Amino acid sequence: MTPSTPRLVVAAPSSGSGKTTVATGLMAAFAARGLAVSPHKVGPDYIDPGYHALATGRTGRNLDAYLCGPELVAPLFLHGARGCDIAVVEGVMGLYDGAAGEGELASTAQVAKLLGAPVVLVVDASAQSRSVAALVHGFVSWDPQVRIGGVILNKVGSARHEELLRKALDSVGVPVLGALRRARPVETPSRHLGLVPVAERRALALSAVSEMAELVSRGCDLPALEALARTAGAVPGGAAPWTPDLSPTHDDPSASAEGPRPRVAVAGGPAFTFSYAEHTELLTAAGAEVVIFDPLRDEELPEGTAGLVIGGGFPEVYAAELSANEPLRKAVAELARSGAPVAAECAGLLYLCRELDGSPMCGVLDATARMAQRLTLGYRDAVAVGDSVLAAAGARMRGHEFHRTVVEPGAGAAPAWGIRGRERRVEGFVQRGVHASYLHTHWASEPGVARRFVERCRTS
């Protein structure tokens, strides 16, 4: 891998245009041609990267300029693209849509510029013909620093429809690199937070990815798309690949990676699928032995567990099964009572409550959780209210909320975070070694979080 890894960004005028199908299918189609493909997703989405991993056989990674800062986008990209022949980056929402009220921040366009990558625009052409030229012209001319290198037309009705679309686009000067006919949608079922994760339907997901690859291979000019990817030069700014930071935490300069490797159990399986790959890499780099376990199946924590990380996912879908695993619930509660470090985000927060939709959970927190009608979604600026196993009081981090549940009360006597901005509030729980919150954070933005957690595992 070099800083000039061939790369494409797959974007669209809006959500629902078909970019996930095209991006995932393109990844799989390139892999089928013998290329080592590096898969990436713009934004905080945890689900699409699972499908990307199936398509490529490599870990799907996120590029989020809000959570990690624009300066880390290129290094994190290069880290993921090590050893690859080509990289495909799936965008988020519409090409120029980013964090609300923050201009281009966290948009697909910003990431494309930070990577110096050409953009392929996926356009839903189902209800237009000549107007497609005006649409594409607008996206091409809006920001001259964004290089739209080609268009893929989606949901094309017929050969005649395709002819009209191609003729209209001749005047724009952007090549049409594919035309996908309107057909039965690839089966990728959704529910209240988006697509059903791969971990819950692996065999069917493999079939869906295969269909996407066939659709893209049949309707797109793969050699032309690969050639476009190869026009990307060196990543701007001379960025080097990101590596896990092994330096001590800012608040504990005496911290050291020396000594025995504490075992950190990380929840996985179908109920807990939301996690950034860099988190386990950072924990390992900080000196931990990371062991994945499945709260739906395993009745005990891994032997010798010194710390526990429970990320996001869908415990509300598996509440009955999680509740039925009483031995593990008791083991988690016992570990928390011992003062061992426990970091829980969103789904993990729900699992630590007394109950979820009436089903008994671990009872670590004096709170209850239930499904709600309203979706809570958005980036957050947060500050640590007090000291915890993740952060020192006053530490600032950026995070993301994405849930359709409510926890009552929303904060404990010692809250985890104070949310800044228009909606000033406190949320989450800190008690003994437990840090539980709705906020999803990306630890690459502050590697000291993982180091602090592992040090607490050594000393608790």
CA 301 to chain centre: 26
Q: What is the mean pLDDT of residues 309-338?
A: 96
Backbone angles phi, psi at 50, to 5 degrees: -65, -40
Q: From CA 342, how far away is CA 429, in angstroms rounded?
A: 11
- How does strand 434-437 pair with strand 429-431? antiparallel
Write the pLDDT tens digit of every residue in 69-93. 999 999 999 999 999 999 999 999 9
Write the pLDDT tens digit of every residue in 239-249. 899 998 654 44
Q: Residue 88's closest CA among 119, 47, 54?
A: 119
Cβ burial, residue 302 (10 Å; 0-12/13-18/19+):
middle
Q: Are 230 and 429 in contact (CB under 8 A)?
A: no
CA max distance for the chain: 71
Q: Residue 298's closest CA among 251, 265, 344?
A: 265
pLDDT-derived band at 185 (thresholds 50, 70, 90) equals: low
Helix/strand/coil percent split, the chain, to 5:
30, 25, 45
The 3-state DSSP class for residue 65 equals: coil
What tokens does 106 get? 């966290």
Instruction: Identify the DSSP state of 246.
Output: -
Q: Residue for token digits 């281009």?
A: 104
Quote the Cα angle for 309-314-320, to 5°.
100
Q: What is the pLDDT of residue 259?
A: 65
Q: Residue 172's closest CA among 145, 151, 146, 154?
A: 151
**pLDDT at 366 > cutoff 50:** yes
Query: How far from 148 is each of 19, 141, 244, 309, 456, CA to CA, in Å?
Result: 15, 9, 33, 41, 48
Q: Are 460 and 441 in contact (CB under 8 A)?
A: no
Q: What is the pLDDT of residue 188?
A: 59
Q: Which of these is catalytic: 68, 84, 346, 353?
A: 346
Mean pLDDT over the full length of the chain: 92
Write the pLDDT tens digit of every residue in 378-414. 999 999 999 999 999 999 999 999 899 999 999 999 9
Write the pLDDT tens digit of every residue in 424-446. 899 999 999 999 999 999 999 99
Q: Are 75 and 115 in contact (CB under 8 A)?
A: no
What tokens does 56 get? 């490529």
Q: From CA 428, how far away is CA 352, in angstroms rounded?
A: 12
Q: Quick check: is 68 catalytic?
A: no
Q: From CA 453, how far away is CA 288, in angstroms rounded?
A: 10
Write the pLDDT tens digit of every residue in 212-264. 999 999 999 999 999 999 999 999 988 899 998 654 444 443 344 556 899 99
Write the pLDDT tens digit of every residue in 263-302. 999 999 999 998 999 999 999 999 999 999 999 999 999 9
Instruction: Identify the DSSP state of 252.
Output: -
Q: Are 357 and 371 in contact (CB under 8 A)?
A: yes
Q: From CA 433, how far away is CA 457, in angstroms rounded?
A: 9
What tokens does 355 get? 């109950």
Q: What percent of the chain has a predicted confidence (pLDDT) above 90?
A: 84
Listing DSSP states for 402-414 in one string gives: EEEEEEESSB-SS
Q: Are 21 and 211 in contact (CB under 8 A)?
A: no
CA 424 to chain centre: 26
* Least confident range of 2-6, 9-13, 208-212: 2-6
Instruction: Identify the DSSP state of 310.
Output: E
Peptide bond into 409 cis (omega under 30): yes
Q: What is the pLDDT of residue 383?
A: 97
The 3-state DSSP class for residue 435 equals: strand
Half-sphere exposure of 350 (CA within 13 A, CB side): 26
**pLDDT at 191 > cutoff 50:** no
Q: Are 37 and 85 in contact (CB under 8 A)?
A: yes
pLDDT-derived band at 46 (thresholds 50, 70, 90) equals: confident
